[in-house]
Amino acid sequence: MESFRTPGGVTLGIESFGDAGAPLVLLVGGPTMLSWPDGLCLALARGGRHVVRYDLRDSGASTTVDPDAPGYTLRDLAADAAALARGLDDRPAHLAGVGVGGFVAQVAVLDHPDAFSAVTLVGTRPVAPGPVDDALPDHDAAALGRLFARPMPDWSDRAAVVEFAASGAGILGDDPVAAGDRAGRIFDRTPGTEPAVVMANQLGMVFSRLDRTPRWRERLPEVAAPTLVVHGRHDRFFPVGNGEALAREIPGARLLVLDQAATAIPDPAVDVVAEAMLAL
């Protein structure tokens, strides 16, 4: 596992694929870098890209300070993405965000347009989580009710954490086996870090406490970079209407709906997503 230290002193855990001299594709974790499937990273690398995925702050191998009281904002996370892109390559990068990483990617391309040549937004929406008054479809209430009604596991017990992640994936319509495997890998790759902190952060709990301003939806028409919006047809967390709204409001954006997907990018869709990203 590699790391990158931003000019502001934040350490970001990163992982690289492909030729370091090739054009950069920077994958923003959602919040963990493992939100991006290995198969997609490898497919992009085979397509002639230098692929780097990274953990957001307070997640995985990145700087963890106080997840209960994050001392930074969404705009700071966007600045991290721009600093990483500029530090890894002199050329503008293709920036991609999944889930909550999609919020970071949207703000980053708006605040730092010179750092990015293209944008991919996967399973995300044009506003931060919370009460929605934007005519956007909200979370599937029944699915989220079941998701959050489950008792928390013993976060220091790897098997319990894996089972918890797998059951949650089943509720959301994702592959439980793949989700359990990912949770186990997250658990294993953060030695010396309190498991309760690490795993809770992967569920986005730290993001729920973060200052998620500014509101950026009204600025989406300013996005000049070629944009791909990818969304699962059966996404119960951010229903597909959110991706459709992004594609409408970003000039010239292409919408790719994965008919057999929910919140995660399933293995059978990896090549389709990689081909669409490489075409930007």
d(CA 232, CA 124): 10
SS3 content of the chain, % helix, strand, coil (to 5): 40, 15, 40
φ and ψ at residue 124, rounded to 5 degrees: -135, -170
Residue with structure tokens 């920036």? 95
Q: How far apart are CA 28 and CA 62, in angstroms?
A: 12
For 184-205, the pLDDT digits (tens) are 998 888 755 555 555 555 556 5
Predicted pLDDT at 189: 81
Domain covering 2-132+194-278, topology: Rossmann fold (3.40.50)
Which pLDDT belongs to residue 196? 52
Cα separation values, 37 from 32, 54, 163, 179, 271, Å: 11, 12, 20, 11, 11
Q: Any idea what DSSP says for residue 253?
A: -
Residue-wise pLDDT for 16-64, tens only, equals 999 999 999 999 988 889 999 999 999 999 999 999 999 999 888 888 7
**Predicted pLDDT of residue 210:** 72
Please tell me the predicted confidence (pLDDT) of residue 199.
55
Rg (alpha carbons) of the chain, rounded to whole number: 17
DSSP conformational letter for 33: G
Residues of the chain with pLDDT under 70: 67, 129-133, 191-207
